[in-house]
Structure formats: C-alpha cells, structure tokens
A and B are shown apart, each in its own frame.
Chain A
Amino acid sequence: MKSNGSVYVAVVFAVLIGYFTYQWWFNPARAVKRRLGEVAATLSVPAGDSEAVRVTRLAQLRRYFAEDIHVRAGASGPEISSRDLILAAIAGWTPSAGGRDVQFVDVQITVDSDTSARAYLTVEVTSPDGQARRPTVDAREANVLLAKRNGEWVITSAESKETLTRP
C-alpha cells in the first residue's frame, strides 16, 4: 500500500512538472509573451545609458523584428514598412536623462497556427520628468502580429489604436 501511494504521488508530481514545463517553455502563447517581454525590456532605457549599450540594444531589436515589418501609428497615421527605418526611428527616440521604461500590459495572445500569432496589449511608457515630481506616463493600445521564422518569434506588424476616437 505504502509503495503504491508513493508511486501515485510521484506520478502526480511528474505530471505537474511536465504541465508547468510545457506551459512555461513550449506553449506558443507563453513563448510569444516571453518574446514581447524581451522587446519591451530592450525598448526600455535605464538612466545614464552609454552609447555602446545603446548600439547593443538596437542590434538586439533587429532580431525581434521581421525584415518586412509594418508599423503604423493609429488607423490613419503614418506607416513605416522597413526594419531599418523602424530601427532608425527607435535610435532617434531619445529618452530623457532619467531614461524610460516600456511595459506591455494586459497582453492578450491568440495563436493562429504554429507560425503565426496575434497580440492585443497596452503599451505603457514611463519617463521620469526632471521638473515635475511625478513621472510622465503615456499609454496606447496596440495590435501586434508575430510570425515564427527560423524558429524565433518576430514581429511582422504593429499598429497603435486610439481608445478615444474623435473626428
């Protein structure tokens, strides 16, 4: 009896470990979420960031974007359709002296197939303001499309969306 009980406990334990390992490592939705987290972390700039670190960060971002990426600011806003142009725009996005923190919150992921996924999220950018006591916070909704290329999830399209619309 005692040895049977131990076997059952071991089996349940193994199943639980297998489930959580799958959820954490192999589940495509988790993999997409992890990739988006990496993108947000790379877009964030700590205070006093050096030029060398900045260049490294841009090189990292290149890995996360598809070559034919499309980025649009709002439904009627300008569209950029090249990875190099996006990276140039990000390089020119100079943070304040206190840096900036980029977070993707309320991320909702839909995996359409083994190689494509969609994410609907809120982008929150926090920048410490030297004059005001509190940091400046800007938030926008965004729809992001991702594709799996060469075994890696990359962003193929990103479009910000206005929560409050006006004519």
Chain B
Amino acid sequence: MRALLLGSNPRIAMIRAVALIASAAIVFGYVLVPMRLQGISMLPTYSDGAFNFANRLAYLWRPPARGDVVAIRMAGPSVMYVKRIVGLPRERVEIAMGVVMINGEPLVEPSVVNQSPWNLQAVTLGDEDYFVIGDNRAMEMQDHDFGRASRDRIIGKMLF
C-alpha cells in the first residue's frame, strides 16, 4: 500500500505532490477561476447551477469582444455577474422592442432564443465601458441585471 501511494522513492513523490498542489492553487486561484452559476439570466446558454471557469488570461493580449461571455466582479471576486458583451466602448446602445441596436443597427444574436419587448433609451458608452446583458430575454426587464460595466470589472472570459 505504501509503495502504491508513494512509489519507489517517497521523497520524489512528496516533491511531486507539493508541485501538484502549488500548480493547482496557482491555476485555479489566478488563471482559471472556478464558478458555480446561479440564476436564470443566461438561459439557454448556461443553466442555473452550471459549473464553469473564468479565464483570467483571455484579455491579456486583446480587449474583450462583442459576443464574449464574461465574468464581472462586484466588490471582489467571490460574487460575480456572468453576462454577454453586446456593446463596445464608444458605441451607442439601445434596446427597441427587445432588439439590441448598436449605433442604430440591429444586432444579430444567435444565442438569444426568446425576446420580450424590452425598451431601453440609447446610451453612448465611455472609453472603458462595455454593455453587457444576459441571454435570457424572455424574463421581465426589471428582473434582469444588465447595463454598463467598466473594463476593470471584467475579470475574464467564460472557458466553456
């Protein structure tokens, strides 16, 4: 049993175990942040209780893009919003009868299945602002958290 657990050289096995634990702590603490999604705002893309990772390296070399599903921090990384980016910096975003309009043009959103007739007056985003929204547009607009998020709040991109 001892040989099965520790191999022929316990010292090497111990070093491997410590390296494995350290790598896991770094990867899952700072690179791929594990997340349990709660709520229905991202249906049908993500269901309530789905498990995923936020990839914190995704935006190291490129800015967030339209269509990306991102994790947005609140006061810290323990509780985060998961939303889809629909508007980019300096764009004008509005919602007319459930259709998201970017600079006056309707946005094609294949991930949105049902749309309620939401209406939101036009807003022009700042240099560091993104407009984020969940995929579940069948729910009531007042029950759905969406809007502008500044770049520094976007922690990473959903891995799956």
Contacts and interface: CB of A to CB of B under 8 A. Distances in A.
A and B are interacting partners: yes
Interface of A: 105-108, 120-122, 124, 132, 134, 137, 139-142, 162-167
A144 to B, nearest CB: 11
Contact of A167 (B74, B75, B79, B120): B120
Interface string B143-160: 001111100010000000
B148 A105 contact: no
Q: Which residue, A139, A141, A166, has most C-beta atoms of chain B within 10 A?
A: A166
A106 B77 contact: yes
B74 A122 contact: yes
A108 B74 CA distance: 12
Q: Which residue, B77, B78, B121, B153, has most C-beta atoms of chain A within 10 A?
A: B78
B39 A141 contact: no
B81 interface: yes
A120 B148 contact: no
A137 B146 CA distance: 16
24 contacts: A105-B75, A105-B76, A106-B75, A106-B79, A107-B75, A108-B75, A120-B75, A122-B76, A124-B79, A132-B48, A134-B49, A141-B74, A141-B75, A163-B72, A163-B81, A163-B145, A163-B153, A164-B72, A164-B83, A164-B145, A164-B148, A166-B146, A167-B120, A167-B123
Given A139-B74, A141-B74, A164 B149 contact: yes
Considering the complex of A and B, which 5 residue pairs feature the smallest CB-CB distances, nearest first? Answer: A106-B76, A166-B147, A164-B147, A122-B75, A106-B75
A167 B76 contact: no
Given A124-B79, A141-B75, A163-B81, 18 more contacts: A105-B78, A105-B79, A106-B75, A106-B77, A106-B79, A120-B75, A122-B79, A139-B74, A140-B74, A142-B75, A162-B147, A164-B72, A164-B81, A164-B146, A164-B148, A164-B149, A166-B120, A166-B123
A162 B150 CA distance: 12
Contacts of B153: 163
B45 interface: no
